[in-house]
Structure formats: structure tokens, C-alpha cells
Structure 1
Amino acid sequence: MAGESANSNEIVIPSLTRVWLAAVGTTAPADATVVMPSGWRSVGLTTEDSLKFNNEPNFEQVRSAQSSFPTRTFQTQDASTIEVDLQQWSGPNFQAVYGGGEITTVTAADTKKHFKFVPPRIGSRTEIAACIEVVDGGKHYRYMVPRCMQMEGVNTELAKTKEAVLPLRLAVQGGDDTDAWYVITDDNAFAPPAPPAGG
């Protein structure tokens, strides 16, 4: 059929995902497969069904007496978030989940080292950069977020019958000097169309 575009090779099954975090301003990877540059840290193991990248634009509509439908629709806001549940408990993961905070060594009565985590005070949350890496066979995708911030409450279930996860919830931050987020990939389905002949 003319114009048929069905192609099962363009179906993506995320067989492997990774989440990387870094300080804002850390050099981003130049492509979809290069080794992550210095300064990026993997959060480690995550639950297999929790990773989500959400994009939720907001719109306003103008209604007029001459139409039963909106006569104009315009976008007023944009919002994107990252959601993932971390399975590994560590100091850096606690700081990511709680939006910062301080970790110190404390004096203990026994011979083991003990550590203290204090969540950030109001006004002292820190922004971070994030990368979601998705692999499907020979196709690779990296969602790059130059600036994001933890902006939700943390609900950690401490049940006896399952692992306790750390819910990482990051809100993408924007600005006029950089893209709020972007995807880099080696998937040929993303190749721009060739310019028309003689154009």
C-alpha cells in the first residue's frame, strides 16, 4: 500500500536501562554509546518497571461565540519529570532521593564506622544533571537532562516481605541558555529526511 509506514524494527523494547547522575555543568556524553564522561555516577540497580520519563505540557483555550470548538489553543507551560525506584541504598543515592543533604562520620561505641545522613534544609536543595540510558539490541538512546531537582515527598515502604526502594523523582528545570532536555541516539529511524533533489 502506498504510504505504508509499518515497520516492526522501530518498536523499542528497553531490554536494559541505566540512570546516571552528575553535578550540573558536568560534560555530557557526545553520542549515544561513548563511555560516560568523568563525573557521572550510575545509581545502580533499579526496579524493572518503575523507570518513566513524563512530559506534561499545559495549554489554555480561547472560546468564541461563533464556534462550538476552541478558536485558538496556546501553550502556557511545559513540565517534564523522571521517576525511578532505586534498589541500592548508599549515601549518594540518599542525597539524590532527598535533594541533597550532608553525610558525616560519627563517633561510635563499637569498632565499626558509623555515618549520619541529614536531609537538606529548606532552601538548600541542589540541582543535578541526569541521563536515562535505554538499550534495545543494537539501538541506544540517552535522555539527557542538564538540570533537574528533586521536588516531591519521599515515601519509603519498609515492609518485611520485599526490598525497600528509594523513590527518585526529578523535575526537569529549564532556562533560555540550554535545552531543558534532549535525546541522542544511534537509531537510524531518527535520521532527518534527505533534502529534495535540486533544493
Structure 2
Amino acid sequence: MAGESANNNEIVIPSITRIFLGPVGSTAPADATSPMPEALRNVGLTTEDSLKFNSEPNFEQVRSAQSSYPTRTFQTQDAATIEVDLQQWSGNNFRAVYGGGTIATVTVTGPPASTHYKFTPPRIGSRTEVMAVVEVIDGGKHYRYIIPRAMQMEGVSKDLAKTKEAVLPLRLAVQGGDDLDAWYVLTDDPAFATA
């Protein structure tokens, strides 16, 4: 029987994962291992098992009286999402999780005098898109999912329990366009050469 032989070197265990976000139009990494471009910032620590990349195409089927099975299937749309829970609370991560917003300085006259900050989520119609890079490392193999445009398109639900850390749920929907790939992967994994 023809086919690929069993090869445990083609099993991927994502021992290290990182998420980078930046403005749409930022320079993407050129390959799977070069330094990340400056405009893309690391969101920091994330929970161990929360990272997911979902590709969800939709299909329609044509049915005919002469067959119990569909006689033709065609794709009607594509969709992809990134899900990850951020452990680090920062102004940049709040803005990422809520799809934008503003941070203003609030001066407290005291005593003692100190500086506070006010985060305001975006209003309807003012959410911002971001560029995202998901980095996956398994030993000497590297993978980078490049997403030129993505937008936070879900509500934000945070558990504020005193028995565990409170996380910021980042849920990005991949955006597309005729002029660029909606997403792609860069890798140095030799197993891809056989394709």
C-alpha cells in the first residue's frame, strides 16, 4: 500500500508558543527563525493550553434525485480564528482584547500624589484591526502563522476568582482581501519539502 511511512519526527509538540501583535501593514517576518520585526510586540505570558488556531470553511451541497449522496460540493466562504488567554494585564493587552480603545492619564493630587490610568473600550464602529503572528517551536522546528489582518470580534468574559489568575481572553477573527493571503505559515520543518 503506497503512502507515507511512519515517522515520529513528524509529530509536533508545541513546547513553546508566542503571540505577537502589531499594526496592520507591519512588515511580516521573512522566514521561520529571523528576529521578529520591531513593530510586532510580544503579548507576553499566556496560559498553558489555551492557544488555538481554527480554520472553518463553509460548504454547500447539491443533491440530486439519482443519488443518496451529494452530487457536488462547493465552498461558499472561509473563516479562521485565533484563541488564547493572556496572563499579563497591560494597557496594550487590554486594547488588544477589547479591539482598541483609549488609555488616558488621571492625576491624583493626593495624598500621596500618584498617577492612575483610565481605559475606555472602543465605541461601535471604531474597533481596530491588528496584524498577528503565532509562533510555535518544537525543538529545532519552527512554525510561524502570519495573519496580516485580524479583529477582536467576540465579547470579553473574565473570571475574577481569588483561587486562580485572571486572564484576558484574546479572540481574533482573521480578515481577508483580494490583495493578500488571509493567513499563511512559514516553517523550517524538512517534512514540508516532501509535499
Please say whether Structure 1 and Structure 2 have the same fold, judged by a TM-score greater than 0.5: yes
Q: CA deviation at 1:109?
A: 3.3
| Alignment pair present for 1:124 and 2:123 | no
Deviation readout 1:46-97 (Å, 9 max, x if unpaired):
0000000000000000000000000000000100000000000000000000
Superposition pairs for residues 60-99 of structure 1, below 5 Å? 60-99=60-99
Q: Which amino acid aligns with 1:96?
A: A
- Specify the alignment match of 1:32 in structure 2: 32
State the alpha-carbon separation in 1 of the partners of residues 168 and 93 from structure 2: 8
What is the percentage of aligned positions where both structures have the same residue? 77
Q: Which amino acid aligns with 2:81?
A: T
Q: CA deviation at 1:144?
A: 0.3
Q: CA deviation at 1:107?
A: 2.1
Superposition pairs for residues 7-156 of structure 1, below 5 Å? 7-110=7-110, 111-156=113-158
State the alpha-carbon separation in 2 of the partners of residues 61 and 116 from structure 1: 51
Q: Which amino acid aligns with 1:49?
A: D
Q: CA deviation at 1:5?
A: 1.6
Q: CA deviation at 1:4?
A: 4.7
Q: CA deviation at 1:191?
A: 1.2
- Specify the alignment match of 1:197 in structure 2: none
48-57 or 104-113, which moves further after superposition? Answer: 104-113
Deviation readout 1:13-60 (Å, 9 max, x if unpaired):
000000000000000010000000111100000000000000000000
| Alignment pair present for 1:176 and 2:178 | yes
What is the Cα-based RMSD across aligned positions, in Å?
A: 1.1
Q: Could you list the runs of 5+ residues in structure 1 that have no partner in the other structure?
A: 194-199
- Specify the alignment match of 1:160 in structure 2: 162
Q: CA deviation at 1:2?
A: 5.8
- Is the partner of 2:191 in helix, strand or coil? helix
Q: How many residues align?
A: 193
Q: CA deviation at 1:3?
A: 4.1
CA shift in 2, pair 1:171/1:161, >3 Å: same
Q: Which amino acid aligns with 1:116?
A: K
Q: Could you list the runs of 5+ residues in structure 2 that have no partner in the other structure?
A: none
